[in-house]
Structure 1
């Protein structure tokens, strides 16, 4: 993480806000949050791109992109074989797009490890996308990271303005969070000085479980106002929706999970407006 090519901010006619959804632990709700936060942002007027950087490709599947339709993927983008614009596909949600992933991505690290710009492949691709006048202009880019602190995740952090951390309400939540925060500090020091933690969203909260309450209190005490007010409940409809290739907001708009993601989208936008006001 020592090479330091251009760290200039991404520019263009419309500058998208780029949020990387990251947590090295699996099963904490990263992909579910990427799909449903993206859908909720699109539902309230944003134009959103989900960049699937997980070799499992679950965000792509959950947005209805069958594997047979992934002729170009984020693997091709990071290898320099395709542009992001060429890779982006429409979803069944108006104003929501996805750059799909394939299993090829799992071998990427070995292929580009010796390249000087290896940590900046995604940043450069997003910069080119922002400067491309063709096609939709995105106001938000959500990057679904793999469950590891790999070169792929480093690419996401080097490209992002901020990190959004889904955190499951479980016993070892804070331990995993500490490791992630150290990685963010390393990336900030070496690759992306502007990187911040946008917020931590507590997922899979079960009101009947005392442990969920304890974890929520501990995380709020440890991270303060970095923790979103919105908490994503454990919800059967949220779990069912991906098997139908739909975000939960399309599968069951009125369920508790859908309503929570709509609140989270509003909170994300409120934080963005507050940050712009401070910057101004």
Structure 2
């Protein structure tokens, strides 16, 4: 039965999708893995070789129109599948009280087919992100070492705690992951100290592996349409994402 992780933050541009697809792809080298995109920008789809595919159904079709979630699955490799979000996901909302459980119910119906499921979310604590929190076992929170990053972390943790208290008592934060980090920057070093202090005070693990500020990860996606860890080219990020994946799963 799969363990379900969501990568969540209400701040954009902090490598949330990049973390999600690289960790998932790294795991899929050995374990059956599914990536679910809940962000209407659909960046998970463009992270993989799907340009020539005719995508018939999306997660939006599942949640809004009752299409079986199995019909939305796209196979990428032997042990990796993805589910595209669909353009309507960012504005999607149902009004009945139990609708927040719809994604969980859909995931529960396919959990037995995978060992790990990762959910990518929009840079917003919207209804889709709420559904992801309800459906998850653990949460990974990316953090960019800058002024607005701390406020985003605190707001995200608050939302997670609210879901934990009301709907999903087993929910836990796996770790905070520092992204776009420049070890030469005094500003980044100061913000790193701040987030370390906050994580220790709240009892949340701060991953020791930090994702550096670089453009090579984006290049592999747009040039090869594949996450860095699956690229055929050498890239120091491969080892970094491999180390981070081991941390998260440990």
TM above 0.5: yes
Deviation of 1:257 (Å): 1.6
Distance 1:153 1:101 in 2: 12
Matched, 1:101 2:77: no
Deviations along 1:100-139, one digit per CA (max 9) or x if unpaired, are 1221223322xx2x223211111000111125xxxxx211
- CA-based RMSD: 1.6
Instruction: Give the structure 2 partner of residue 277 of structure 1.
Output: none
SS at match of 2:110: helix
Q: Note if 1:29 corresponds to 2:15.
A: yes
Following the alignment from structure 1 to structure 2, what is the Cα–Cα distance between the partners of residues 67 and 183? 38
Secondary structure, counterpart of 1:228 in structure 2: coil
- Residue 232 and residue 70 in structure 1: after superposition, are their counterparts in 2 closer, same or farther (change >3 A)? same
Name the CA shift for 1:189/1:176 in 2 (closer, same or farther; >3 Å).
Answer: same
Match of 2:231 among 234, 248, 251: 251
Q: How many pairs does the alignment contain?
A: 246
Shift of 1:205: 0.9
- Name the TM-score, length of structure 1 as normaliser: 0.83
Mapped partners of 1:32, 1:240: distance in 2: 12
Q: Given that residues 235 and 256 in structure 1 are in contact (C-alpha distance below 8 angstroms), is that contact kept between their aligned partners in structure 2?
A: no
1:48 to 13, 27, 33: 33
Of the candidates 37, 51, 55, which is equivalent to residue 66 of structure 1? 51
Distance 1:203 1:152, change over 3 A: same
Q: Quick check: 1:143 aligned with 2:127? A: no
Match of 1:38 among 24, 40, 44: 24
5+ unaligned residues in a row in structure 1: which ranges? 1-14, 132-136, 271-280
Cα deviation, residue 173, structure 1: 1.4
Q: What does residue 234 of structure 1 align with?
A: 213
String of CA shifts for 1:146-185, please: whole Å, max 9, x gaps: 1111110000000000111011122221111111111111
Determine helix, strand or coil for the equivalent of 1:49.
strand
Say which of 99, 118, 122 aligns to 2:99: 118
**Aligned twin of 1:10:** none
Task: Give the one of 152, 168, 176 matched to 2:152.
Answer: 176
Runs of 4+ in 1 over 6 A off after TM superposition: none
Instruction: Work out whether residues 88 and 98 of structure 1, in 8 Å CA contact, stay in contact via their aligned partners in 2.
Output: yes
Q: 1:165 to 1:67 in 2, by over 3 A?
A: farther
Superposition deviation, residue 238 in structure 1: 0.6
Alpha-carbon offset, residue 80 of structure 1: 4.5
Alignment match, 1:154: 130
What's the TM-score, normalizing by structure 2? 0.93
